[in-house]
């Protein structure tokens, strides 16, 4: 059995973090067996190195090793890619095709991003893990395969199981042994080593001197959180190597290559702007309900004062309440008359609840309330018909102009004219 350091050198793994060493050690231990392995860790931590170690140190090393990115294959074709299909199984299947499980018979398949597999494919994969059997798409003939499966994911599997996105039985079949790779931010002593290795590689690739970091730049590198882990670190090393003329890199030079540098504190997300739109409807409803309540109070007061025969007081109270309705929204605006308030509020005087002149009080003190009730019960059909008639009369029968004024299409107006037999 190879040692940990020898294996790391062989596969180009740099670092001496205990978590990294433990992951390599477990890979060496499980390699001679055929048990399934699940590699976990954040995106960019180098999970693809583990299945290569396992395959190379196993008895399958002379057979095929196939790496499949499950998240990159469309849902409609992934079954065909993994298990193959028969000729005519679906549109475009002009010939029989062997899938990865058939091609890699006797070898190892690495299923990267296994958490992205669709549920129907998870059922097929579970059958392969249990008894090595699978069906090609469009076939009823069961086939056998002898494949070692190593899977990897950056998904929190228990959350995915809870949400119904991943089968619990498949998870336990895949994770007979689970190997976790630590994030780069937990491997501070390895960050500069990795950066130097990448800088050296790019210097050779692009035939230029190797970049060097000063002490402050190194500290900036170590204190950064590296959300993209090793992949992001490699990307930064390549950018700096190619773009900077001066090969001595200071912290000021390095800082622009590190997004959001300078703050490791949690960020308070301002959700006010995003919630304004969703709350706008609720605010509008509240304003309308408040206005309705004020108008109901106005009607009650009007009837009460009419009953007592105090018409002058009615007008004064009307003006006060109308000002109140609008001034709830704009406290600096006052009105000299009821008519001015109605005009600003865009309430047609003929349809307003408060008349400009009060009618003579009938013997029945509630006579005026009945008239109001009758006006409120007019149907939408009548109002719509009245608006269409007025618009057509105003524009002398020109439908296009009338439709624009009403805010509807000319076709809709034509249908309404036909419907109302105008």
- Section 344-358 average pLDDT: 46
pLDDT higher than threshold 90 for residue 254:
yes
| Tens digits of residue pLDDT in 357-410 | 444 444 444 444 444 444 444 566 677 778 888 888 887 888 888 888 877 887
Q: Are residues 155 and 213 in the same domain?
A: no
- Section 221-237 average pLDDT: 96
How confident is residue 343, by pLDDT bands cut at 50, 70 and 90? low
CATH of the domain at 248: 1.10.8.60
Predicted TM-score of the model (pTM): 0.61
| pLDDT (0 to 100) of residue 125 | 96
**202, 63 Cβ separation under 8 angstroms:** no
Q: Contacts by 240-244 with C-beta closer than 8 Å and gap 24+?
A: 240/199, 240/211, 241/199, 241/202, 241/203, 241/206, 241/208, 241/210, 241/211, 242/202, 242/206, 244/211
| pLDDT (0 to 100) of residue 374 | 44
Residues 6+ apart with CB under 8 A from 187: 15, 17, 19, 20
Q: Are residues 12 and 84 in the same domain?
A: yes
Q: Are residues 52 and 83 in the same domain?
A: yes
Residue 265, in any domain of the structure: no
Residue 262, in any domain of the structure: no
| pLDDT (0 to 100) of residue 316 | 60
Output 262 or 24, whichever has higher pLDDT: 24
- Residue 166, domain extent: 4-182
Residue 112, in any domain of the structure: yes
Residues 6+ apart with CB under 8 A from 420: 385, 388
Containing 205, the helix (H) or strand (E) segment is helix 188-206
Q: Are residues 85 and 160 in the same domain?
A: yes
pLDDT higher than threshold 50 for residue 267:
no
């Amino acid at each position: 059995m190879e040692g940990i350091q020898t294996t790391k050198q062989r596969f180009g793994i740099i670092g001496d973090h205990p978590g990294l060493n433990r992951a390599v050690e477990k890979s060496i231990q499980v390699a001679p067996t055929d048990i399934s392995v699940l590699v976990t860790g954040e995106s960019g931590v180098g999970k693809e190195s583990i299945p290569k170690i396992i395959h190379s140190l196993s008895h399958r090393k002379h057979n095929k090793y196939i790496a499949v990115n499950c998240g990159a294959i469309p849902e409609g074709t992934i079954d065909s890619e993994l298990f193959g299909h028969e000729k005519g199984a679906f549109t475009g299947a002009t010939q029989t095709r062997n899938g990865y499980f058939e091609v890699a018979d006797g070898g190892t398949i690495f299923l990267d991003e296994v958490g992205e597999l669709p549920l129907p494919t998870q059922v097929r994969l579970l059958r392969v893990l249990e008894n090595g059997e699978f069906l090609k798409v469009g076939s009823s003939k069961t086939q056998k395969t002898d494949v070692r499966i190593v899977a990897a994911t950056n998904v929190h599997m228990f959350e995915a199981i809870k949400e119904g996105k991943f089968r619990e039985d498949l998870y336990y079949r895949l994770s007979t042994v689970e190997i976790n790779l630590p994030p780069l931010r937990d491997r501070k002593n390895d960050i500069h080593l990795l950066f130097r290795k990448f800088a050296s590689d790019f210097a050779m690739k692009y035939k230029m001197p190797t970049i060097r970091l000063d002490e402050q730049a190194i500290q900036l590198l170590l204190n950064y959180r590296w959300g993209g882990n090793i992949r992001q670190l490699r990307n930064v090393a390549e950018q700096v190597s190619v773009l900077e003329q001066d090969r001595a890199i200071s912290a000021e030079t390095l800082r622009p290559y590190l997004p959001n540098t300078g703050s490791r504190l949690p960020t308070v997300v301002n959700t006010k702007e995003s919630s304004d739109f969703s709350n706008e409807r609720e605010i509008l409803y509240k304003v309308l309900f408040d206005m309705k309540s004020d108008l109901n109070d106005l009607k009650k007061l009007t009837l009460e004062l009419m009953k007592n025969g105090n018409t002058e007081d009615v007008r004064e109270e009307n003006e006060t309440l109308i000002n109140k309705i609008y001034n709830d929204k704009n406290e600096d605006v006052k009105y000299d008359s009821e008519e001015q308030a109605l005009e600003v509020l865009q309430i047609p005087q003929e349809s307003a609840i408060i008349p400009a002149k009060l009618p003579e009080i009938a013997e029945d003190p509630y006579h005026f309330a009945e008239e109001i009730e009758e006006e409120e019960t007019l149907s939408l059909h009548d109002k719509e018909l009245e608006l269409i008639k007025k618009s057509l009369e105003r524009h002398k029968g020109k439908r296009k102009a009338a439709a624009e004024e009403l805010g509807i299409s000319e076709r809709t107006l034509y249908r309404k004219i036909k419907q109302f037999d105008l």
